[in-house]
Amino acid sequence: MDTRSFVRLLSAVCFVVPLAIAAQPTEAVACGESIAFEVDPNVLLLSQAEGNLTAGKPRAAALDVMKVFPKIKTAGVGSSPLLPRAQRILAMAIVRTDGLLTAGKDFKASTADERRANLEWAVGTLRRLSSAKKNNPSVETDLGEALSKLPETQPEALAVLDKLARKDLVTSARGYRALAELRKAAGDDDGHVAAMKKYEALARKNKPANAADKPAAKAAGSGVIST
């Protein structure tokens, strides 16, 4: 190879390689039916939101959701196949901050009434999702956890979670935690201990940093996320 050719080759390599590196997309999540995982950034964002929720970062999760659905509170049912998933994440983010989460214009948390309104939205949303996905322990566990946050729905929460637990179908550590607290409040000490054992086993890795474990920031604005 003469010098001229070498220089040309070197120039080409210097030009093409950085371009190729820059053009590398992110690693696909999986194969099979998850085509959308690779091509739809919204799916990736929701996936990230779920990761944040699981990791005890409900506010970060909510932020991700609001990027995808800024008007999620008024979004029509069926308007997007991703909507139920997004609603579930936001609802659980609200539940895990005890309603102390401000998101966009629709979710305020300055007053107790606003926080309660947030929780009521979360419960209503999870009820609808549970109704749409009948007999789904994962959704029912979420609903049970949400119901446990409102005094008037705690008996229902206990019934929902108790029924699941009897069949070993509570699907989250937080679900067991809520059940443990509900049982304790109902005077069921043995049940409390049993649920706590399950909670501790499931929460071993990602011990929740939610409101139940660690009181949410006291300042009303601490949960604010901007979209």
- Piece in contact with another protein (CB under 8 A), picked from 1-9, 32-40, 108-116, 218-226: 32-40
- Piece in contact with another protein (CB under 8 A), picked from 37-45, 68-76, 93-101, 114-122: 37-45
Least distance (Å) between residue 63 CB and another protein: 20
Three-state DSSP state, 103: strand
Asked whether position 206 contacts another protein by CB under 8 A, the answer is yes
Q: Is there a contact between 209 and 57 (Cβ–Cβ < 8 Å)?
A: yes
Between 35 and 185, whose beta carbon lies closer to another protein?
A: 35
CA distances (Å), origin 147, targets 59, 118, 123, 186: 20, 13, 6, 15
Asked whether position 21 contacts another protein by CB under 8 A, the answer is no
d(CA 72, CA 52): 19
Least distance (Å) between residue 117 CB and another protein: 26
Between 1 and 20, whose beta carbon lies closer to another protein?
A: 20
Interface pattern 118-157 for another protein (x via CB under 8 A): -----------------xxxx--x----------------
List the interface residues with another protein, window 60-79 (CB under 8 A). Answer: none
Between 136 and 154, whose beta carbon lies closer to another protein?
A: 136
By residue count, the chain amounts to 227
Close Cβ partners of 65 (under 8 Å, ≥ 6 residues apart): 45, 46, 49, 72, 86, 89, 90, 93, 103
d(CA 103, CA 5): 59
- Piece in contact with another protein (CB under 8 A), picked from 107-115, 149-157, 187-195, 199-207: 199-207
- Type of residue at 76: G
Asked whether position 17 contacts another protein by CB under 8 A, the answer is no
CB atoms inside a 10 Å sphere around CB 81: 9
Q: Is there a contact between 164 and 175 (Cβ–Cβ < 8 Å)?
A: yes
Structure tokens at 227: 């979209």
d(CA 100, CA 11): 57
- Piece in contact with another protein (CB under 8 A), picked from 10-18, 22-30, 114-122, 209-217: 22-30
Between 168 and 190, whose beta carbon lies closer to another protein?
A: 168
Asked whether position 171 contacts another protein by CB under 8 A, the answer is yes
Return residues touching another protein (CB under 8 A): 24-28, 30-36, 38-40, 43, 81-82, 84-85, 135-138, 141, 167-173, 201-202, 204-206
